[in-house]
């Protein structure tokens, strides 16, 4: 981590991970509503809908996933923080509800090693950066 000058809090706090999502299930989908999880506390939001067909083999079919991109930002002391990306894929069970999928994502994020926390309210998933 190198030292750099010219720290601009507005610029640095607006940096963050891009949130992307995809569903490989026939009947359950996921849509990103707010696509940036910022250092400054802006939450990324995704919403799951539908009842899952579910996974019945070793393929990608019957899964749903979210991705948080790699990003860098400067801290007030001038050091650069490199935040690793995160790909989370969940296998779905037949007839799994959208709310259950959102809750499963929140559980993985909250128990995982990355600096994020999540809440699931119904079928909406809200992710914040927590370093």
Res 22 pLDDT > 60:
yes
Q: For the chain, give every domain's residue range.
A: 9-129
pTM: predicted TM-score of the whole model, two decimal places: 0.93
E-strand stretches of the chain: 16-23, 29-34, 36-38, 44-49, 63-68, 71-74, 80-83, 86-91, 116-121, 124-129
pLDDT attached to residue 4 = 52
pLDDT in tens, 65-100: 999 999 999 999 999 999 999 999 999 999 999 999
The first and second tokens of residue 28, run together, are 């359950």
The first and second tokens of residue 65, run together, are 């996933």
Res 127 pLDDT > 90:
yes
pLDDT attached to residue 131 = 87
Please give the average per-residue pLDDT across 15-21, as a whole number: 98
The first and second tokens of residue 51, run together, are 């009842």
């Amino acid at each position: 981590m190198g030292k750099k000058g010219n720290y601009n809090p507005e610029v640095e706090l607006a940096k963050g991970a891009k949130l992307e999502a995809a569903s490989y299930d026939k009947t359950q989908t996921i849509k990103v509503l707010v696509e940036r999880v910022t250092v400054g506390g802006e939450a990324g939001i995704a919403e799951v809908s539908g009842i899952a067909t579910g996974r019945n083999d070793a393929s990608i079919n019957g899964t749903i996933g979210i991705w948080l991109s790699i990003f860098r930002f400067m801290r007030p002391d001038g050091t650069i923080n490199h935040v690793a990306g995160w790909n989370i894929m969940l296998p779905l069970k037949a007839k799994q509800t959208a709310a259950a999928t959102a809750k499963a994502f929140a559980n993985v994020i909250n128990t995982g090693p990355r600096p994020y926390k999540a809440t699931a309210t119904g079928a909406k998933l809200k992710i914040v950066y927590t370093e």
